[in-house]
Structure 1
Amino acid sequence: MMQRKSTRHRAFDPDPEAPQTYCDMPGCTANAGYRAPRSRDTLRSYFWFCLEHVRQYNANWDFYKGMTPGQIENHLRADVSWQRPSWKLGTRGGQVFNEEEVLDPLDLLGAERRKRAERRRSRPQARSATPDVLRTPLSTLGLDWPVAMEELKARYKSLARQHHPDANGGDSAAEERFKAVVAAYTIVRVHLEQSADLDAVKAG
């Protein structure tokens, strides 16, 4: 039986728009098949690398390097809303979203709603004390305040594996979700590290 050859572009295939040139990594003579942005200010201007060096470049890429937690938060808000008016999570143009309106035969929303309610009852004071700068990042990560560094890292690793573009066939929507997760993790991690440093200074 004759099998049809798949024409779907695989995640690790070279970019079909890659120029016929060598890798931009100095000293490398491999063909360049993978693009990478030159900087966060020139995302449409690319380096072109071979597979080995684009992996190395991406592993060291930090979009938010040099930015303060406040700048990261502002950038994340603008990126998520696409500069459009937005409303508090759970509302629609000022009207409260009613989960009961959603058809949920498997009770998925109901189960999650009960879990959230139990967490709120067990930590009512802690929830109200959530720092404003962390509300959106924690919501993105699905975490409540307070949160330990170990819990934060575990949640980040789980979401990063789930939404990484390579795990989703290079899907652009997955890439945007992955970027939001990375940004949220960075904000919370920096906040926890700064708080730990401050506590150490006070203790000393």
Structure 2
Amino acid sequence: MCEHPQCRSKATARAPKSPANRTEFYWFCQQHAAQYNKEWNFFEGMSEDAAKAHAAADMYGHRPTWGFASGSSARRAAQNASKDFKDGFVDPFNLFGDGPPPGQERAQREAEDPNAGMGRLQKRALETLNLDPKADKSAIRRRYAELVRQYHPDSNGGDRSMEELLQKVVEAYQILKSCGMG
């Protein structure tokens, strides 16, 4: 039953009894709940400072907060930021447009240094084939075929002394082929 005096309607809505105790409720019918809500002032009885503090705490959900200690690295970053805008932070996603367009960083690095996009195995494989890092697929295939003819026992009169070199050439070509270079 509705807790409003002289009301016999079914209670369907609850309303807190006070701001200090929000776990105890009045049960009202819909009409009296709306009336109670219009008249109820959450900040009633609070000082102005307490009301402002409560409203400010709404910003972070009334959870405990604490200030970050400004260590030496934070001070250094702030000093750098005040000296030069670019030194104050890192822009890995190029949001401020100082670097190359997204997706072209790698192409720019590789244009400056052909070895930049290669792993250790790829570099070693190119060294084994005695090729330049800028070599294209056809140059790699030609060099591979040339070295296989040179080191293969069938083409050098049955001399098996070059068999180890042949294995290294085949392994190097397989490495380059697996990464799309061969």
Question: Which is richer in strand?
Answer: 1
Greater relative contact order: 1 or 2 (C-alpha under 8 angstroms, separation 6 or more)?
1
| TM-score for the superposition, normalised by structure 1 | 0.32
